[in-house]
Amino acid sequence: MSNTLVIKGFGGERKLSGTVKVTGAKNAALKAIAATVLFRDTVTLTNIPEISDVLRMFDLLKDMSASVVNTKKGTYTVTIPTRGFATELTPGIAKRMRASVVLTGPVLARYGKVSFPHPGGCVIGARPLDLFVDGFEKMGAKVVMSDTGYVVEAKGGLKGAEFFLKNQSVTVTETFMMAAVLAKGTTTIKNAAMEPEIVDLAQFLNKCGAKISGAGSPTITIKGGKLLTGKGHPYKTMPDRIEAGSFLVLGALAARELHITNCNPVHLESPIETLRSAGVPIEVKKSEIIVRASSHLKAVDIKTHEYPGFPTDLQAPMTVFLTQAEGESKVFETIFEGRLNYTESLAAMGASITMMDPHRVLVRGKSELRGRKLTSPDLRAGLAFVIAAVVAKGESVIHNVDTTIDRGYEDIENRLRAIGVDIERAETVPEVTPSIA
């Protein structure tokens, strides 16, 4: 498959309509896949999105000798062998996917050892591992760091512990919630992250025998116990709130009426309220959001925040929205310091954006965007570029799709084409062997 998307923009006209169905959430599916290491028998995972991050997570498990079977679209069974499971996360894969770090909790808890590489450089910010190292040590493990990565060992198994997270980190909360399921005694995580994906994971683990309480609040308590059982408890991935929110922005800018189905609007209260205050007519049903055209979009300030605040993963699509709203909006990215760099490309498309500092930009709307060649720094900015390209006048070409958009959005071009977006994956250009002069 080629790495390039070609989009012909509508120059601000509202031409989209129809229904777009939301897939299972990437950031829930990845954790459920990691959690299979806590099971003594086969686990069935359903509504798993067909995206490259998910395939990589399965590859990591397969490399460790798990059996992974894709029984039908979106459904997988995973079995961890009773013997011979490797405790090293394959560096070539783990380095390319920061989310792989959540596997360390279950592997360490079950096998008393795990090794993993330094996570690769990340374009959205520094993303340190200090809270992971602190947590492992508090639970009685020894952590050795070398040039190549980390080796963590807990010879007699992990012990329950109490810790306070200095930052409300999503993957740290999930990693230690999973590790604590097999630790001796009780673990308390204070200042835990409260994202819906954490609640989804806790509910699944509890159905299978874990004793986790408080997920979704800032204090989570886990009573350690035995290996879990998947028998009779298939996991169904919750809907992707970031995908739903991105479609909402796309609809607000380019649709006459767009129905976003198979989603959970309760998870999107902050983006929905923000868009409504900017003048977007939004109707909310139980598992559907309907967005309609507005005659006037107004500027609104946004500040990213841990859940239930405005999600950092929707900051880039929302900034595209603000380029089309009348007036001056401030965008304050509080979670990651490198997550506004993509705004340079929006400015090159004609947006009026001033970077105040690495965490803040000022957007002056409304600007007419023009199609451009774009290279996205990360998957969320990648989808924001798709939205900008639909709004722009002329053709845009988005490169690097395999390392950005394809990591998190299933079959994006066909799903968007079905609601009227003029989008094609460019033909793969055969590589020409350069001649040596």
Catalytic residues: 122
Does residue 32 bind ligand EPU (CB under 6 A)? no
Nearer to ligand EPU, 135 or 365 (CB): 135
- Is 127 a binding residue for ligand EPU by CB under 6 A? The answer is yes
Does 335 sit near ligand EPU (CB under 6 A)?
Answer: yes
Asked if 132 interacts with ligand EPU (CB under 6 A), we say yes
Q: Does 314 bind ligand EPU (CB under 6 A)?
A: no
DSSP letter assigned to residue 434: P
Cα-Cα-Cα-Cα dihedral sign, residues 109, 110, 113, 117: negative
172 lines the binding site for ligand EPU (CB under 6 A): yes
Q: Which residue from 52, 100, 169, 294 is in contact with ligand EPU, where contact means CB under 6 A?
A: 169
The span of 22-30, 67-75, 156-164, 429-437 binding ligand EPU (CB under 6 A) equals 22-30
Give the number of residues written for the chain: 437
Written as one letter, the residue type at 377 is P
CB 344 within 8 A of CB 368: no
Part of the chain binding ligand EPU (CB under 6 A), chosen from 67-75, 152-160, 165-173, 385-393: 165-173
| 310 counts as binding ligand EPU under rule CB under 6 A | no
Buried b (16+ CB within 10 A) or exposed e, 204-214: bbbebbbebeb
Tell me: does residue 237 bind ligand EPU (CB under 6 A).
no
If binding is defined by CB under 6 A, does position 344 make contact with ligand EPU?
A: no
Q: How far apart are CA 25 and CA 17, in angstroms?
A: 23
Q: Provide the 10 A C-beta neighbour count for residue 181.
A: 30
Number of residues in contact with ligand EPU, rule: CB under 6 A? 23
Identify the DSSP state of 200: H
Residue with tokens 């709307």: 365
Should residue 145 be labelled a site residue for ligand EPU when binding is judged by CB under 6 A?
no
- Single out the segment in contact with ligand EPU by CB under 6 A; choices: 2-10, 113-121, 128-136, 229-237: 128-136
Does residue 13 bind ligand EPU (CB under 6 A)?
A: no
Structural tokens at position 350? 């004609």
Beta bridge partners of 219: 190
Handedness of CA 300, 301, 304, 310 (dihedral sign): negative
Q: Which residues of 228-251 are buried (b: 16+ CB within 10 A; e: fewer)?
A: bebeebebbbbbbbbbbbbbbbbb
Rounded distance, CA 409 to CA 400, Å? 14
Q: From 24-32, 112-120, 250-258, 354-362, give the range in contact with ligand EPU by CB under 6 A.
A: 24-32
Considering the rule CB under 6 A, would residue 80 count as an interface residue with ligand EPU?
no
Residues 6 or more apart whose CB falls under 8 angstroms from that of 144 comprise 150, 151, 152, 153
Minimum Å distance from CB 326 to ligand EPU?
Answer: 29
Binding mask 376-395 for ligand EPU (x = CB under 6 A): ---xx---------------
* Binder among 70, 148, 167, 414 for ligand EPU (CB under 6 A): 167
164 binds ligand EPU (CB under 6 A): no
Q: Which is nearer to ligand EPU, 49 or 420 (CB)?
A: 49
313 binds ligand EPU (CB under 6 A): yes
Q: Can you read off the two tokens belonging to residue 317?
A: 């699509």
The tokens for 25 are 């959430």
- Contact residues toward ligand EPU (CB under 6 A) are 26-27, 30, 98-99, 127-132, 167, 169-172, 193, 312-313, 335, 379-380, 408
